[in-house]
């Protein structure tokens, strides 16, 4: 069970590092990596494709990370003892009486006759 968990953790970390790299390569103003490789105009060949690839890769890696986390939780979850055992049948508690009152279940003791 721990090897499955370790495998999922490694895959999640790799996907997270790739997502960080892709997000850091993007420029919020539209330049980013495409501006480094493609000149000043967005109309040039390849620049728009780079932006589309970066956006699709960002969304895809985000979805992959979420899916890996959910799958790892489902596969590595251990059922608790409460879920495994059938609910115990509870019996009604025995009636309790206050001290000094007559308890009908208790044996009655009569005093011994005095005088012989």
Residue 15: CB atoms within 10 A of its CB come to: 20
Q: Pick from 8, 29, 3, 17: which is nearest to 71 by CA?
A: 8
**Residue 85: inside a domain, yes or no?**
no
pTM: 0.52
**Residue 40: inside a domain, yes or no?**
yes
How far is Cα 62 from Cα 16, in angstroms, rounded to an integer? 8
Q: Which two tokens stand for residue 84?
A: 């495994």
Q: pLDDT band at residue 39, thresholds of 50, 70 and 90? A: low
Q: What is the structure's pLDDT at 4?
A: 85
What is the length of the chain?
A: 116
**Residue 101: inside a domain, yes or no?**
no
**Residue 35: inside a domain, yes or no?**
yes
Q: Are 97 and 103 in contact (CB under 8 A)?
A: yes
**Residue 113: inside a domain, yes or no?**
no
User: What's the DSSP call for residue 115?
Assistant: -
Domain with 12, as residue range(s), is 2-76
Q: What is the structure's pLDDT at 40?
A: 53
**Residue 102: inside a domain, yes or no?**
no
Q: Can you tell me the mean pLDDT for 15-22? A: 94
Q: pLDDT band at residue 76, thresholds of 50, 70 and 90? A: confident
**Domain tally for the chain?**
1
């Amino acid at each position: 069970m721990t090897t499955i968990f370790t495998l999922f953790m490694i895959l999640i970390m790799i996907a997270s590092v790739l997502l960080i790299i892709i997000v850091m390569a993007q420029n919020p103003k539209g330049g980013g990596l495409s501006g480094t490789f493609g000149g000043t105009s967005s109309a040039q060949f390849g620049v728009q494709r780079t932006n589309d690839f970066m956006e699709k890769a960002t969304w895809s890696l985000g979805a992959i990370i979420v899916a890996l986390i959910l799958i790892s939780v489902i596969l590595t979850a251990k059922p608790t003892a409460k879920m495994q055992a059938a609910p115990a049948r509870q019996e009604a508690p025995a009636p309790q009486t206050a001290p000094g009152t007559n308890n009908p279940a208790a044996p009655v003791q009569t005093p011994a006759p005095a005088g012989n």
